[in-house]
């Protein structure tokens, strides 16, 4: 089944509004295994919308419109669909009653204009709108389906989940299943080069995405049955695991801090942090992990100057210098001061730059009897650096704990 989305609204064409409805619907169609071949934006103009609908009907089996279902003169989606199907819109008594009830519940009389929202054409049924006044339309004619949804995202999404998704699920002959494999420590181009043999496949497909927490590989399989699609994913996944091995840290919805937390809990260990450079983000990251109260003892956040001297530390590292064991000391202070099994220290510096910054990150892990220190060089956009430092430190800890 081929689908096409048409977003209606002059605001969209003026750049005043981002078309998030299309992204939402596109993601949903992908999950349903429905191919989306075109998506377009049209202003609040009946003739142009009609032209877009005509073109869409020639190349798609399913057309989904968003917006233009309001009660005012510039809400023209219903009229345009009626024009396309050459049918006469008429007030539907049940939809009219729904509207009257909607306003009555709010203690207001229905404005005259809203009656426009109660019309239907013979080929369409109304889709109830639990969050607003405009019912959607589900129209079927000559083997093609046209779905009209309201513009406001909460209304559209509620209607989608309750009314549209179940109907499309019945119609679609395919399901799509994806699996995301998350890596750290290998750049995007290198991952691309290493996994070249699995990248060329058509089904399942493998896509590479650069994210905050590393490079993700997403395997997507399309099949008639969920089970078949799941089986199809297994082979490229095994291949990717063989190629990227220890650089893989997780899958799907997993986060590094979540995995670390579970590892620590399983080993019965607690963790404390001393951080400079990352300004509390490392502590925040652990604190917001699931069940953090079971493993995270807390963090000491250091700026420059006195705060450091109070802990007996020298001034922050400078460009071109090694950490001189400062980070190892920070890790040890965190462990002893906060009474944890493992102390985790991070420090670093960035060469100031507006474009691409370069610098060093020093990480130390102190487990009492043993300790380890790692230094990383990095480069990146200034606003990304602290986040990258945190992710990189998390991965260092993961490597040690694993």
Encode 221-238: b = buried (16+ Cβ within 10 Å), e = exposed: bbbeeeeebeebbeebbe
Other CB atoms within 10 A of residue 72 CB: 11
Sign of torsion, CA 147 153 159 161?
positive
Residues 364, 371 contacting (CB under 8 angstroms): yes
Binding site partner of 134, from Mg ion, ligand ATP, none, Cβ cut-off 5-8 A by kind: ligand ATP
Q: Which is nearer to ligand ATP, 52 or 206 (CB)?
A: 52
**Min dist. Cβ of residue 54 to ligand ATP (A):** 20
Please name which of 149, 122, 145, 147 lies closest in space to residue 135, comparing C-alpha atoms: 149
- Choosing from 21, 49, 66, 70, the residue that interacts with Mg ion (CB under 5 A) is 70
Binding site partner of 316, from Mg ion, ligand ATP, none, Cβ cut-off 5-8 A by kind: none
Quote helix, strand, coil % in the chain, to nearest 5.
Answer: 45, 25, 30
Q: Which is nearer to ligand ATP, 12 or 256 (CB)?
A: 12
Q: Which is nearer to ligand ATP, 157 or 262 (CB)?
A: 157
Q: Which is nearer to Mg ion, 70 or 89 (CB)?
A: 70
Task: Tell me how far CA of residue 31 lies from CA of 1, 12, 39, 353, in angstroms.
Answer: 13, 26, 17, 42
Q: Which is nearer to ligand ATP, 114 or 332 (CB)?
A: 114
Binding site partner of 150, from ligand ATP, Mg ion, none, Cβ cut-off 5-8 A by kind: ligand ATP
As a three-state string, the secondary structure of 23-74 is: HHHHHHHHHHCCEEEEEEEECCCHHHHHHHHHHHHHHCCEEEEECCCCCCCC
**Distance (Å, whole) CA 344 – CA 324:** 16
Please name which of 377, 400, 372, 398 lies closest in space to residue 389, comparing C-alpha atoms: 377
- Choosing from 75, 155, 163, 347, the residue that interacts with Mg ion (CB under 5 A) is 75
Q: Which is nearer to ligand ATP, 161 or 228 (CB)?
A: 161
By beta carbon distance, the residue nearest Mg ion is 70
Binding site partner of 126, from Mg ion, ligand ATP, none, Cβ cut-off 5-8 A by kind: none
| Residue numbers at the binding site for ligand ATP (CB under 6 A) | 7-9, 11-12, 17, 19-21, 66-70, 75, 134, 150-153
Q: Which is nearer to ligand ATP, 156 or 331 (CB)?
A: 156
**Min dist. Cβ of residue 114 to ligand ATP (A):** 9
Query: According to the binding rule CB under 5 A, does residue 366 interact with Mg ion?
Result: no
**Min dist. Cβ of residue 92 to ligand ATP (A):** 17
**Min dist. Cβ of residue 69 to ligand ATP (A):** 4
**Distance (Å, whole) CA 147 – CA 81:** 10
Q: Which residues bind Mg ion (CB under 5 A)?
A: 70, 75
């Amino acid at each position: 089944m081929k689908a096409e989305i048409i977003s209606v609204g002059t605001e969209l064409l003026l750049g005043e509004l981002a078309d998030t409805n299309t992204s939402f619907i596109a993601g949903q169609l992908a999950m349903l295994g429905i191919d989306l071949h075109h998506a377009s934006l049209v202003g609040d103009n009946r003739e142009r919308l009609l032209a877009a609908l005509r073109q869409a009907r020639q190349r798609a089996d399913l057309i989904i419109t968003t917006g233009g279902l309001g009660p005012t003169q510039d809400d023209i989606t219903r009229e345009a669909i009626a024009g396309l199907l050459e049918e006469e819109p008429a007030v539907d008594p049940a939809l009219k009653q729904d509207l009257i009830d909607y306003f009555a519940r709010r203690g207001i009389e229905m404005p005259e204009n809203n009656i426009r929202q109660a019309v239907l054409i013979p080929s369409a049924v109304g889709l109830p709108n639990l969050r607003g006044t405009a019912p959607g339309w589900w129209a079927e004619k000559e083997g093609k389906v046209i779905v009209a949804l309201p513009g406001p995202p909460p209304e559209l999404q509620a209607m989608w989940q309750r009314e549209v998704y179940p109907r499309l699920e019945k119609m679609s002959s395919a399901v799509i299943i994806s699996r995301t494999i998350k890596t750290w420590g290998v750049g995007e181009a290198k991952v691309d080069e290493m996994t070249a043999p699995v990248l060329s496949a058509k089904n399942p497909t493998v896509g590479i995405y650069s994210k905050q927490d590393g490079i993700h590989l997403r395997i997507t399989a399309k099949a008639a049955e969920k089970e078949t699609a799941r089986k199809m994913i297994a082979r490229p996944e095994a291949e990717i695991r063989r190629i990227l091995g220890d650089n893989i840290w997780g899958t799907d919805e997993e986060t590094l801090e979540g995995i670390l937390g579970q590892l620590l809990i399983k080993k019965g260990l607690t963790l404390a942090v001393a951080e400079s450079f990352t300004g509390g983000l490392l502590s925040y990251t652990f604190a917001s992990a699931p069940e953090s109260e079971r493993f995270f003892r807390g963090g000491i956040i250091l700026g420059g100057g006195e705060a450091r001297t109070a802990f007996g530390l020298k001034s922050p590292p400078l460009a071109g210098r090694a950490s001189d064991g400062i980070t190892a000391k920070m890790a040890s202070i965190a462990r002893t001061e906060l009474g944890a099994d493992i102390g985790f220290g991070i420090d670093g510096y960035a060469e100031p730059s507006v474009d691409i910054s370069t610098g060093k990150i020093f990480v130390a892990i102190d487990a009492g009897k043993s300790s380890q220190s790692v230094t990383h060089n990095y480069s990146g956009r200034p606003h990304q650096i602290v986040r990258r430092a945190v992710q990189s430190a998390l991965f260092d800890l993961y490597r040690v704990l694993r």
